[in-house]
């Protein structure tokens, strides 16, 4: 995999989009897959996800499902995926709860007392690390670990605050401000963490994406040597990949829209872009520069007078790649409205 180095005047920094002559499932040994928006959306599998993952396995690609959600156990997550027809073992599930529990173990050692503010996924992860869970700040905890649970209430947040204000180290599994539910978007762990932060004046250590502890946990548990991070969010999946210096694939099946992708800052730009997980099954060709034009497939894109100009026909995803190359090289203040309308 190599980044294209187009002839002519070089843009400000290398293009992050890479070329892979092999299918990504053959070029990388392990896919570190986000779940919601990549593999499933709510109670339904993302179209083509299950089939693509099975076919990727035929290329030799292993997988780990990596999630910021700390509320469910790996067994529960794997059961959910299998019901959707997605191949998964509990050992392939890596959660921010597991990463946070490892951080807690490093902080207090075997048998250390942990004030657990969270659900069964976090409690199981704490036990797996040989730590002792306690329920009150009066139980003399040595570290506080906070993760999402829909059952958390004021008393739980108060116990965390009492301990944190006393100087007990504090670890948050993640700081996602929202969580999707069957009824819509609801407050996530980040919102609950913010309440304790406001009451204590303390900023926690964070295990989940885009921070690196969860990335290290997923590599450790999967045994990945040449992993590919696969996600749908720029602010967690892709930023985490950039921080971890790991190649990434963004799929357009979840939160990130094409407009979002075009406007992505340099620390949130993926190396590969695909419509869905079938992108694992094919080679990828990065755009090439031809004068002011960036060409990909049968499409070319250029920035002219602050506007993206798009020409060509063929695969829509090639147009997206060409537009990304043009906009990312041009910098801020570029309008892509007409080109996006052209794509439909």
Q: Is 34 annotated in the active site?
A: yes
Q: Which two tokens stand for residue 246?
A: 């790991």
CB contact at 8 A, 340 and 320: no
Buried b / exposed e along 145-165 (16+ C-beta atoms within 10 A): bbbbbeebeeebbebbbbbbe
Sorted by sequence, the CB contacts under 8 Å of residue 322 that are 6+ apart come out as: 287, 294, 295, 296, 297, 299, 300, 301, 310, 312
Cα-based angle 235, 21, 262 (whole degrees, multiple of 5)? 30
Catalytic residue among 7, 21, 29, 36: 36
Catalytic residue among 21, 29, 34, 156: 34
CB contact at 8 A, 105 and 131: yes
- The H or E element that residue 206 is part of is strand 205-206
- Separation CA 208–CA 103 (nearest Å): 11
- The H or E element that residue 295 is part of is strand 293-296
- List, by residue number, the catalytic residues: 34, 36
């Amino acid at each position: 995999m190599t980044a294209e180095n187009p002839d002519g005047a070089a843009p400000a920094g290398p293009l992050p989009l890479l070329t892979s002559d092999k299918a990504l499932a053959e070029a990388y040994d392990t896919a570190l897959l986000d779940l919601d928006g990549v593999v499933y959306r709510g109670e339904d599998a993302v179209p083509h996800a299950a089939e693509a993952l099975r076919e990727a396995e035929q290329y030799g690609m292993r997988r780990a499902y990596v999630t910021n959600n700390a509320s469910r156990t790996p067994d529960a997550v794997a059961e959910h995926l299998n019901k959707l027809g997605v191949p998964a073992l509990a050992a392939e599930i890596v959660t921010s709860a597991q990463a946070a529990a490892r951080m807690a173990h490093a902080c207090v050692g075997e048998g250390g007392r942990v004030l657990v503010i969270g659900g069964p996924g976090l409690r199981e992860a704490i036990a797996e690390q040989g730590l002792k869970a306690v329920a009150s700040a009066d139980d003399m905890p040595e570290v506080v670990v906070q993760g999402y649970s829909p059952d958390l209430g004021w008393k739980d947040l108060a116990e965390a605050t009492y301990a944190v204000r006393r100087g007990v180290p504090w670890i948050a599994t993640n700081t996602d401000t929202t969580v999707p539910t069957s009824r819509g978007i609801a407050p996530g762990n980040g919102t609950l963490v913010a309440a304790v932060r406001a009451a204590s004046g303390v900023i926690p250590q964070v295990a989940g994406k885009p921070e690196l502890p969860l990335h290290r946990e997923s590599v450790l548990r999967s045994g990945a040597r040449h992993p590919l991070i696969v996600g749908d969010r720029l602010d967690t999946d892709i930023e985490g990949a950039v921080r971890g210096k790991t190649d990434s694939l963004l799929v357009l099946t979840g939160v990130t829209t094409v407009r979002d992708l075009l406007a992505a800052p340099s620390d949130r730009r993926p190396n590969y872009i695909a419509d869905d997980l079938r992108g694992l099954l094919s080679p990828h060709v990065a755009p090439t520069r031809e004068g002011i034009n960036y060409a990909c497939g049968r499409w070319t894109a250029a920035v002219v007078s602050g506007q993206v100009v798009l020409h060509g026909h063929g695969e829509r995803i090639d147009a997206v790649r060409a537009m990304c190359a043009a906009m990312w090289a041009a910098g801020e203040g570029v309008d892509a409205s007409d080109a996006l309308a052209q794509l439909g």
